[in-house]
Structure 1
């Protein structure tokens, strides 16, 4: 392989490592969404509510794909809590639980299932969002797409390294394969990002609080946005597609350039035999 093309291949290896690392970081960090809810109704001074000037207590919530952390101030000081995703696949909904007790989580899930069954008969999708629920299908699809992005990214890294130090004799192991693996990694990562944007727009942007907090007066509507863990995925998508652009600019062809060398090695082997 020409030095220029080999150097370009090494650069794509760096971008591939960056892409996979960013996807793994997006799973490992719990900052996909951040929210700053407010308590619009003072539970400490109900008399103040008559003139519409009730004290607004604030909170901070951050969470990832599986867990998160929140701090709410009810007027008696910040109250920190860990939160975790709980889901009912059969009902197609997930929610955030702020309890570390398995028994309380199970009880919360029973309440969710009962509420969902009631909404199916008498309610609307808005009722589900107000209850603090979000779509199970979009959530699990996001995770699957990102996991596939990591898998294909690792495959791309392996074959890129092989192209840098070795001489592939099959088309799929040469530059043509790298276009494919990078393309698959970038495509699945992009799908994961788009699915999560759909989940955020449809459910999370409106409410990230359980029903009990909403009933007290907490509100997160228009106070929630995507955080840096999500943008790790965006960076990974760009890394994979930049890798393919570098291959194109460097003149890497879709066909493997080592076929003649492979045939020569086979011929020599047959002559020696």
Structure 2
């Protein structure tokens, strides 16, 4: 492998490191979901109306969250744990965390073997260029599954009301939810690994030149008859 090809392979090391940073930020931040909260009350005419002086905001990640509610006397912050939240589907939550973790593992492996392939030429396919395709593809795949699982969680369980403990006081987030930036970090990580695969292909592609069989020139030699 020449210097140019080794340089292209080494670029994927930085791509994997960037993807790892994105996934680590997504796992540690608290913005997989954001929602505005409103407080409703029943007026004297038995009609439901929104209290104009009551405002609130909810955001949470895979492990921790925070809600800030204001009923007109100042905002009060309340942290909470996500893994035991009643509004979450536990199976989908476990799958999301597990797939994100596996995506990080394969990104680390991809970064490691990118360095190895830059310094040497491994004999085994799994540790060579085919392995680079595999590790990046697996990282992108598990990140994709993670994104899909959270999207299912969002549409099935998080679009009704995530303020279950405050619902008795009229608080609701129904229809006010949206994906936070932590979620989109994983989406970006998927594209980073796809770009890595493209770089590996461009950097290591070696078209085989087919040798054409040439017919012997009848004028160039003597024909011997027996």
Q: Give 3-state SS (helix, strand or coil) of 1:168's partner.
A: coil
Q: How does 1:193-208 map to 2 (within 5 A)?
A: 193-208=147-162
Match of 2:112 among 158, 164, 185: 158
Residues 1:63 and 2:26 are matched in the alignment? no
Could you tell me which residue of structure 2 aligns to residue 40 of structure 1? Answer: 40
Q: Which has more radius of gyration?
A: 2
Partner of 1:29: 29
CA–CA separation in structure 2 for the residues paired with 1:178 and 1:54: 55
Aligned 8 A contact 1:38 1:58 in 2: yes
Q: Which residue of 2 aligns with 1:214?
A: 167
- TM-score by length of structure 1 reads 0.71
Count of aligned pairs: 205
Could you tell me how far 1:139 is from its partner in structure 2? Answer: 0.6
Structure with the larger helix share = 1
Residue 98 (structure 2) pairs with residue 144 (structure 1): yes
Indicate how the Cα distance of structure 1 residues 5 and 246 shifts in structure 2: closer, same or farther if over 3 A, else same. same
2:131 to 177, 183, 186: 177
Structure 1 residue 192, shift from structure 2 partner? 0.6
Of 184, 187, 194 in structure 2, the residue corresponding to residue 234 of structure 1 is 187
Give the superposition deviation at 1:167.
Answer: 2.3
Distance 2:114 2:133 in 1: 10
1:7-26 matches, cutoff 5 A: 7-26=7-26
SS in 1 for 2:166: helix
| In structure 2, C-alpha distance between the alignment counterparts of 1:145 and 1:51, rounded to whole Å | 46
Q: What is the alpha-carbon distance in structure 1 between the residues aligned to residue 20 and residue 104 of structure 2?
A: 6
Structure 2 Cα separation of the partners of residues 52 and 231 of structure 1: 35
Is 1:189 aligned with 2:130? no
**Would the aligned equivalents of 2:139 and 2:193 in 1 still touch at CA under 8 Å?**
yes
In structure 2, what is the Cα distance between the partners aligned to 1:161 and 1:252?
19
What are the superposed Cα offsets for residues 174-218 of structure 1, whole Å, 9 maximum, x if unpaired? 1000000111111011101110011011111222112x4112111
Corresponding residue for residue 246 of structure 1: 199
Distance change in 2, residues 1:52/1:173 (3 Å) = closer
Distance 1:63 1:161, change over 3 A: same
Partner of 2:76: 79
Q: 1:249: how far off? A: 2.0
1:47-88 superposed Cα distances (whole Å, 9 cap, x missing partner) = 5x667665231101111001111110122221111111243x
Change in Cα spacing, 1:200 to 1:181, as seen in structure 2 (3 Å) is same
